[in-house]
Amino acid sequence: MAWPEGDVFPEGWSNASAMGSKWYVDYDFSHSADASLAAVSSGMDMARLRSPTLTLASSADATFWLRLDGNASGAFTVDWVPPDDDASTLLYIAPIGSMEWSEQTVSIPAGTGYLLFRIVGYSGTEVQAWIDDVVLPESSAPTVASVSWPVTIAPLQAHAFWPIIIFDGARVLWPVTVVSATPDVASVPWRVQVVHESSASLVWPIAVLDAAVVGGLDGAGGWSAAPDGRWQPVVTLDGADIAARLTGAVSVQHADNAARTAQFAYLPASAVQPMSLIGRPVQIAFAQSGGVSAQTLFTGVIETPEIDVQTGVITCTCTDQAQDVWAAMSRPAIDALVGGRWHPALGEPADNYEYMRARLESVPASWALDALRRPAIVLWDAEARSVTVRAADVVDGSLSVSLPSRSELRSRVTCTLQYRFPRLRIRGASARYAQSRAFFVRGTLEGVEAKQWLTRDMIMGALEGAQSSGWTLAAPVEIEHPRPQTIEPTSSIGGLGGGYTITAKDAQSWALGFKALLRARWAQSITETRTVTVVWPQIEAQLGTPAAETIGATLESEFDTGKWEADETVAPTTFATFVGDLHEDYESDGATAADADGAMLALLDRAWVRLYGASRSGRVRFSLPCRPDLWLDTHVTVETDTLRAAGKIVEVEHVLDPASGEAVTQLAIAVGMPGATPAAQPLWSLPARPVDAYSPPLSAYGCQIGTYVGGEIESPVFNEATMIGFVTNIEDLGLTDAQRNSRNWYPLQLSIKSPDIAAESRDPREVASDTTIEVAVPTSLLEIL
Amino acid sequence: MATTWAFFADAGLTVPLVGGATIIDGDVYTDRLVYFGSPATGKKLEAASAPGTDAIEVQPGYTPSPTAGGSDITNLKLALSAVDLDSAIGGVPLIVGTTLYSGPGGAVPIYVRTLELTLGPGVYDDVELVTNGLAESDA
């Protein structure tokens, strides 16, 4: 028989081969015992093997070789199964047990179906069945066009052992090609980086200073930092101690709002390219002899090296790179450290260093880096660290005072904020005209008097003309028509021979009046100028005249007004449906009214800080035996027989001269106007925004529509320029030629003049407010005794 | 190859830190804020033991070993906030994350409290801040 091409390969019918009409199927049914056997129900198929589907014209025999072996109960069966798996016919049955190879024959009925080889109802420990050399009767070929060759081996129990054994005998092998569908593949890029393991470390020396080195002062005299007067500079360059190579003095300077600088000179132990020194780290400390109680004065890098080509001495100028450090800080970090107020309207800084400075203008404080280069904000009135210095503490002759300068003082600061924004205006105006029917036609004793009628076409045409001046119709036009009627003379003598008839057709065309709503839409630039003058009245009274300065900012709300005016679909799309005004002030992001308030508050803070800062121009200067611990955060009170003064250190310079043995700290403290009175930074109450007092007259909301009648005895000469409105004539009812020619007759027409928009409502407009706020500013202890 | 991660004095990672602390005898402790980060661009840092899983730790360590009468790792407390310093335990490693990225935005502020404990006036060079084994790679 032919191999059943196109047929679905039967379940389990794998590893088969065929030669001639024989099928060679070496198949092993087996099952091993395990715990799951307890769940096997009697009568269940333990294993099965299906033949290809056969179609037989008449019954025929099939043969196969069978071997059974096992320790179990149950049977090996062969069934004939129609395609619908219904009404299968048992063809063969043998009990499971020991049965050597023997040929078996089954009779297959006519029709279509397949042979089903099964082990049924098995229970026991192990069973095996082999079948071989299955010879099927000739079958009509299946008609399926394609060849599908799936292999499915599906044990019916989860733990069934299902080996396939292929005997290598004297048979023609029939290799089975299994073609599977293209599998779905999930992939992920798998970049491999090979890196070195490393770690970061930082040596953490701990220096414990004797508390005495930062004590003393308050008239104690002596030199607490070096009690025995013996000291040494400690200078490390790029981590190497170069103190022994120093020549001349070492100095370190630091002042409020400036970088810390240092200078030293040394003779290198070996030749050095001076340019290679730029940017190299430097640390300078003051220590007692032997390096004890070293206190850091400076941490930074070399900015400029200079070499004396005669001696080889290199002089280094160093900086703590404060500007770079601040510039590298994020704005949120600066905000958290500095506090205060700032708004972009005050000017966008070039970098974050400038941003810090701009923000600090609203805080009574100074910036600095400490000796370890940590950013710090030092409040002017903070007294976290305070010392008292008396005459016994200072170097003789070093004490000097410079009082606050009048030229530096400020008694008032005027803050001006301009807030510019578009005011989007919408105006509704009435176009209205009305007459009674009697105006047009009325009965008299002599007959009927009539005038030429106002018509619907005249109304619509006139309104069309009115819209050409920037106005548009905002609602449907309402026209009042006369009702059809006949107007009779009031006597029997009829001027028209009996009456004046308004037909239904006339009534539809003629009009007694009309009502229309016109709308105009435009943007007006508004500039609110708020001026607040912050005044320190005490100092102004003392000076006798204002010492003023002005600061200001401009905030503008950006908007494409031209586009908005030209296109009514551009938001905001508020429309007027009444006679009157609407407006909306457009506030772009970052330029809202709240932003304007924020900018104004920042200006006010700056104003107060300027008053305070300008008052602190006095300086008390003196020198002490070197005190490395005194820095810009220290508040110093100076008490001598001739002077009492107190203030924060604003300048400090340490000069260490090993040659002379002198190590001196020169200090300057800032003192303000005398008084020693504290004052807190004000909590501002902003003045109200300025208001535009202009109010349009009623005529701004109504159209000009007059009435002019020609043909009457008193009718003046027609003047098109002044006769705006409904222009008509009396009907020529029986006038003589002389009468007709002696009178002025007008063209029948209607014209409407829409209202003008006043410059106060249309042109750029400035509104202003001016307020004065009095403040107090801290004063200092400053007494010349 | 050394990692680009290091300790800095500022949040902008521009100033390499000079480690250490100065304590006035009797003041008990001194606090410092340092920043652990990398000024490089496009890098990430993970624990070498299990990248992305194990923690990156900063811990007090010895240089190279403790000495009698010297400073001890218990002299250093580490925390991620100033408030947490009070409850931190001296010598205990601080977990700073599992993956860190370079640049100022990835800098980790570390608060270091240096305690005087039994030390007297003098300078002690026995301890350092050190990380566990780290692997730096392209982010």
Contact between chains at B9 and A321 (C-beta distance less than 8 A): no
pLDDT digits (tens, 9 = 90+) for A416-449: 999 999 999 999 999 999 999 999 998 887 788 8
Query: Under CATH, which architecture does the A1-178 domain have?
Result: Sandwich (2.60)
* Residue A466 one-letter amino acid: A
Where is average pLDDT lowest: A23-37, A94-108, A256-270?
A23-37
pLDDT digits (tens, 9 = 90+) for A467-506: 877 898 888 999 999 999 988 887 755 444 568 899 999 9
Distance from CA of B88 to the nearest CA of A (A): 18
Peptide bond into A572 cis (omega under 30): yes
Environment class of A563 (CB within 10 Å of its CB; exposed 0-12, middle 13-18, buried 19+):
exposed
Mean pLDDT of B27-46: 93
Closest-CA residue to A703 (of A761, A749, A753): A753
Please report, for chain B, how many H helices and E strands are present, in that order: 0, 12
Distance from CA of B107 to the nearest CA of A (A): 11
B1 at A interface, C-beta within 8 A = yes
B86 at A interface, C-beta within 8 A = no
> How does residue A181 score in pLDDT terms, banded at 50, 70 and 90?
low
A384 at B interface, C-beta within 8 A = no
Where is average pLDDT lowest: A28-42, A124-138, A602-616?
A28-42
Specify the pLDDT at position A725: 96
Collect all residues with Cβ–Cβ distance below 8 Å to A669 and sequence separation of at least 6: A619, A620, A636, A638, A645, A646, A647, A648, A649, A650
| pLDDT higher than 90, residue A550 | yes
Q: Which residues of A touch B24 (CB under 8 A)?
A: 208-209, 211, 214
Where is average pLDDT lowest: A259-273, A516-530, A568-582, A709-723?
A568-582
Distance from CA of B10 to the nearest CA of A (A): 6
- Contact of A26 with A15, CB cutoff 8 Å: yes
Q: Which residues of B touch A627 (CB under 8 A)?
A: none
DSSP symbol at A52: P
> Chain A: residue nearest B10 by CA?
A374
Q: Which residues of B touch A202 (CB under 8 A)?
A: 6-7, 17, 19, 34, 128-130
Q: Reduce the DSSP state of residue A357 to 3 states and report it.
A: helix
Contact between chains at B134 and A283 (C-beta distance less than 8 A): no
Peptide bond into B64 cis (omega under 30): yes
Residues 270-329 (A) with a CB less than 8 A from some CB of B:
281, 283, 291-296, 299, 321, 324-325, 327-329
Paired tokens of A401 = 């005072």
Collect all residues with Cβ–Cβ distance below 8 Å to A274 and sequence separation of at least 6: A305, A306, A307, A314
Residues 11-50 (B) with a CB less than 8 A from some CB of A:
11-27, 32-34, 36, 48
Helices (H), A479-592: 504-509, 537-543, 561-566
> How does residue A28 score in pLDDT terms, banded at 50, 70 and 90?
low
> Chain A: residue nearest B75 by CA?
A206
Specify the pLDDT at position A100: 81
Mutation target among A193, A201, A204 for the B interface, most CBs of B within 10 A: A204
pLDDT digits (tens, 9 = 90+) for A760-773: 999 999 999 999 99
> Chain A: residue nearest B119 by CA?
A208
| pLDDT higher than 60, residue A579 | yes
Mutation target among B3, B7, B17, B18 for the A interface, most CBs of A within 10 A: B18
Specify the pLDDT at position A123: 62
| pLDDT higher than 90, residue A31 | no
Paired tokens of B87 = 């409850």
Q: Reduce the DSSP state of residue A572 to 3 states and report it.
A: coil
Residues 114-133 (B) with a CB less than 8 A from some CB of A:
114, 116, 119-125, 127-133
Q: What percent of chain B has pLDDT over 90?
A: 70
Mean pLDDT of A645-652: 96
pLDDT digits (tens, 9 = 90+) for A275-317: 899 999 999 999 998 888 899 999 999 999 999 999 999 999 9
pLDDT digits (tens, 9 = 90+) for A685-694: 999 999 999 9
| Beta pairing class for A314-319 and A292-307 | antiparallel
Distance from CA of A392 to the nearest CA of B (A): 24
Which candidate from B32, B105, B122 shows the least CB-CB separation from A208?
B122
Which candidate from B18, B22, B61 shows the least CB-CB separation from A299?
B18
Residue A780 to residue A645: CA distance in whole angstroms: 7
| pLDDT higher than 80, residue A150 | no
- Give, in order, the Cα–Cα distances in Å from A560 to each of A303, A314, A424, A564, A595: 51, 63, 11, 6, 20
Where is average pLDDT lowest: A320-329, A560-569, A711-720, B107-116?
A560-569
Specify the pLDDT at position A29: 55
| Beta pairing class for A513-535 and A472-473 | antiparallel
Specify the pLDDT at position A121: 65
> Chain B: residue nearest A283 by CA?
B18
Q: Which residues of B touch A195 (CB under 8 A)?
A: 1, 135-137
Q: Which residues of A touch B121 (CB under 8 A)?
A: 208-210, 292-293
**E-only strand ranges, A544-676:** 548-556, 580-585, 618-625, 634-639, 643-657, 662-671
Mutation target among B24, B56, B77, B130 for the A interface, most CBs of A within 10 A: B24
Environment class of A785 (CB within 10 Å of its CB; exposed 0-12, middle 13-18, buried 19+):
exposed
- DSSP string computed for B105-139: GG-EEEEEEEE-TT--SEEE--EEEEE--EEEEE-
Average pLDDT, chain B: 92
Contact between chains at A372 and B14 (C-beta distance less than 8 A): no
Q: Which residues of A touch B130 (CB under 8 A)?
A: 199-202
Closest-CA residue to A12 (of A161, A154, A160): A154
Distance from CA of A324 to the nearest CA of B (A): 8
| Beta pairing class for A618-625 and A231-237 | unpaired
Which candidate from B130, B134, B137 shows the least CB-CB separation from A193?
B137
Q: Where in the sequence of chain A do the CATH 2.60.120 domains occur?
A: 1-178
> How does residue A20 score in pLDDT terms, banded at 50, 70 and 90?
very low
| pLDDT higher than 80, residue A732 | no
Specify the pLDDT at position A400: 95
- Contact of A332 with A284, CB cutoff 8 Å: no
Contact between chains at A206 and B60 (C-beta distance less than 8 A): no
- DSSP string computed for A245-299: GEEEEEEEEEETTS--EEEEEE--SS---GGGGTT-EEEEEEEETTTEEEEEEEE
| Beta pairing class for A111-135 and A206-209 | unpaired
Average pLDDT, chain A: 84
| Beta pairing class for A454-455 and A749-750 | unpaired
Specify the pLDDT at position A8: 33
Contact between chains at B19 and A204 (C-beta distance less than 8 A): yes
Closest-CA residue to A601 (of A536, A533, A689, A686): A686
Residue A776 to residue B32: CA distance in whole angstroms: 37
Distance from CA of A645 to the nearest CA of B (A): 28
| pLDDT higher than 70, residue A11 | no
- Give, in order, the Cα–Cα distances in Å from A702 to each of A429, A456, A472, A757, B54: 5, 21, 14, 11, 80
Residue A283 to residue A678: CA distance in whole angstroms: 39
Distance from CA of B23 to the nearest CA of A (A): 5
Residues 51-70 (B) with a CB less than 8 A from some CB of A:
60-61, 63
Query: Under CATH, which architecture does the B6-138 domain have?
Result: Sandwich (2.60)
Residue spans of the domains in chain B: they are: 6-138
Specify the pLDDT at position B38: 95
Paired tokens of A27 = 């198949």
| pLDDT higher than 50, residue A143 | no
| pLDDT higher than 80, residue A135 | no
- DSSP string computed for A97-139: S-EEEEEEEEEEPSEEEEEEEEEEEEEEEEEEEEEEEEEPPP-
Contact between chains at A202 and B138 (C-beta distance less than 8 A): no
Contact between chains at B22 and A283 (C-beta distance less than 8 A): no
Query: CA torsion sign, B5 to B9 to B10 to B11?
Result: positive
Q: Reduce the DSSP state of residue A388 to 3 states and report it.
A: strand
| pLDDT higher than 50, residue A225 | yes
Environment class of A594 (CB within 10 Å of its CB; exposed 0-12, middle 13-18, buried 19+):
exposed
Which candidate from B21, B116, B121 shows the least CB-CB separation from A293?
B121
Strand partners, B34: B110
Q: What percent of chain A has pLDDT over 90?
A: 56
Environment class of A324 (CB within 10 Å of its CB; exposed 0-12, middle 13-18, buried 19+):
middle
Q: Which residues of A touch B1 (CB under 8 A)?
A: 195-196, 198
Distance from CA of A292 to the nearest CA of B (A): 7
Q: What percent of chain A has pLDDT over 70?
A: 85
Contact between chains at B48 and A197 (C-beta distance less than 8 A): yes
Q: Which residues of B touch A370 (CB under 8 A)?
A: none
Largest Cα–Cα separation, chain A: 152
A204 at B interface, C-beta within 8 A = yes
Phi, psi of A359 (to 5 degrees): -70, -35
Residue A95 to residue A91: CA distance in whole angstroms: 14
> How does residue A183 score in pLDDT terms, banded at 50, 70 and 90?
low
| pLDDT higher than 80, residue A171 | no
Specify the pLDDT at position A573: 76
Three-state secondary structure readout of A459-499: HHHHHHHHHCCCCEECCCCEEECCCCEEECCCCCCCCCCCC
Closest-CA residue to A54 (of A109, A99, A126): A109
Specify the pLDDT at position A498: 63
- Element holding A610 (H helix, E strand): helix A593-615
Residue A741 to residue A486: CA distance in whole angstroms: 30
| pLDDT higher than 90, residue B75 | yes
| pLDDT higher than 60, residue A42 | no
Q: Which residues of B touch A296 (CB under 8 A)?
A: 22
